[in-house]
Amino acid sequence: MAGAKFQYDESGGTFFYFLLSFLAPVVIPCTYYFWPKDERAADSEKKGGRSCRCPQCVDKSRRLRVNQPWRRTKQNIVRVLLVLGWVAMAATAYKCHLLILRRVITVLAASLEFEKSHNLEIMLRPADDVEIPALIKMLPNFNEKNSERPLCYEYSIKARALLYAHMLRIPLSPGLDEDRCYIL
């Protein structure tokens, strides 16, 4: 794609989200389809609950089992791999749970979806120049002096301030409340 601008996550902040979004759609269906079934139970259900124990039938079932010498080993390997997949998914979900919510909100607010040139539904009001700085002063520990791009842009600061105001339940003016509803 010509002229594409890629932005890489050098700190690894979104790696666990990516890993979880990859593992879950793979591990869950694989567990459903590949979890080894007990063949004896399946055979007894097919035959109505009982199996014949005459010498010829016992000999036939023994010969069928001998033709598949690695069957149990394969089943055990599949079980181990599926359990390891679930352990990896649980560990990744645990790591995602421990991520700093402040960083997640900052990354969300930096989305170009909230910039006027990329989204025509965004409205810039002259009152924003007065109301947003007043709102930022009301927010505790709001880091507006971040010089990292795109976190320092006006749309990002506004979106982040509105997200924090929503979580802290700070009353907003009608114009800012409309913007807050759009962001949420």
More confident residue, 160 or 84: 84
Supply the pLDDT for residue 70.
80
pTM: 0.47
- Single-letter code of the amino acid located at 71: R
Q: How confident is the model at residue 87 (pLDDT cuts 50, 70, 90)?
A: very high
Rounded to whole angstroms, the Cα distance separating 100 from 133 reads 25
Residues 98-138 pLDDT 10s: 666 666 677 667 676 777 777 777 777 777 778 888 888 88
Rounded to whole angstroms, the Cα distance separating 101 from 104 reads 5
Question: Which residues make Cβ contacts (< 8 Å) with residue 113, sequence separation at least 6?
Answer: 119
The secondary structure of residue 99, as a DSSP letter, is: S
